[in-house]
Structure 1
Amino acid sequence: MRRRRIADIEYAQMLLSRYTIAQLRHDGGLDRSAYVVLARLASDGPLSIGELSDLLRLDTSTLQRQTTAALRVGLVDRIPDPDGGAARKLTLTDEGRARLDATRERSLHALEKILDEWTDDDIDRFADLLHRFNDAIESYGPGSPKD
């Protein structure tokens, strides 16, 4: 029974990921990789490629390609480390912040419509469980006790 319910969660998570990607690309929104990088820079930045790699669990070559594309279109900038370190840091440009905010607003608007018939308690419970799920994902990986 537990294994079947975990398989249900895996399938639902896959669908959720697919729907989220489609939503982000709608109406000129950021693609998923840019959205993830920009959102992390907005919450934790400025960050180096190495710091982003650790936080997002992506190899540096993947992040290098993603951030180069974002640099090329003016969504991020490279700046000297504000703390005086040797590594250059990435930070959002005004355009990057505006595109992130616009994409996030479209996503929030869609979620408000999707969850319109849910009670506040259901939304609170779902949000709590999603946070718990994401925390468990972030603590899972090579070298973790769960690995």
Structure 2
Amino acid sequence: MSENPDKTKARETLELALGEQIHALISASHALNVRSAERFDATMQPAAFHLVRWLYSYGPTSAAALAEATAMDRSSVSRLIKQLEKAGYVSKEPDPEDRRGVLLSLTELGQQSTVGALKEKESTFYERISRWNDEELERFTTMLRRFNGFNG
């Protein structure tokens, strides 16, 4: 039994429309990330803020784990961490579980600067959902969690 061509075309149209909206979200998020990075420290590359943002969200880690988690090569992470450390945003401490290892973490200045940079991004997204009622927000969050693979 073959599928209805009209139904197939309608589904393709819906999938293309979804793709357009996902692309718009990714593009808007990237633009906000670049602006947030500039607000964090205009002298740093946006990739440095990507590392800082990861440390802010997940806490201390090794340079190797940070490179893997952010899909960046180790040499780039090492170079950026040196810049962040020199600027006072990141510190290195001995790993309590492996004395030969080093953990990277945000300093107080790094934490404060990250929070300041993220406020702009949060306010932009908040503005977009501010007129949604609770049911719409809950439905959007549920659907986004499912799309991102976080449903059980």
TM-score tier after normalising by the smaller chain length: 0.7 to 0.9
- Provide the aligned C-alpha RMSD in A: 2.6
Q: Which residue in 2 is equivalent to 1:76?
A: 90
Q: Which residue in 2 is equivalent to 1:87?
A: 101
**TM norm structure 1:** 0.73
Give the Å deviation of 1:16.
2.1
1:15 equivalent among 15, 27, 33: 27
Q: Is the 8 A contact 2:33 2:121 kept in 1?
A: no
Give the Cα–Cα distance (whole angstroms) in 1 for the partners of residues 99 and 140 of structure 2: 40
Q: Which residue in 1 is equivalent to 2:78?
A: 64
Q: Which residue in 1 is equivalent to 2:40?
A: 29
Gap runs ≥5 in structure 2: 1-11
Give the Å deviation of 1:73.
0.8
Does residue 98 of structure 1 match 2:112? yes
Aligned letter for 1:21? N
Return closer, same or farther for 1:42/1:135 CA change in 2, 3 Å cut-off.
farther
Give the Å deviation of 1:126.
3.0
Give the Å deviation of 1:125.
3.2
Identity rate, percent: 21
Higher mean C-alpha displacement, 2-11 vs 80-89 = 2-11
Does residue 115 of structure 1 match 2:129? yes
How many residues end up aligned between the 2 structures? 135
Give the Å deviation of 1:66.
2.0
Q: More strand by proportion, 1 or 2?
A: 2
Does residue 4 of structure 1 match 2:19? no
**TM norm structure 2:** 0.71
Larger Rg: 2
Give the Cα–Cα distance (whole angstroms) in 2 for the partners of residues 119 and 42 of structure 1: 30
Gap runs ≥5 in structure 1: 137-147
Q: Which residue in 1 is equivalent to 2:67?
A: 53
What secondary structure sits across from 1:80 in the alignment?
strand
CA displacement, residues 104-143 of structure 1 (integer Å, 9 cap, x when unaligned): 222222322222222223333333444444558xxxxxxx
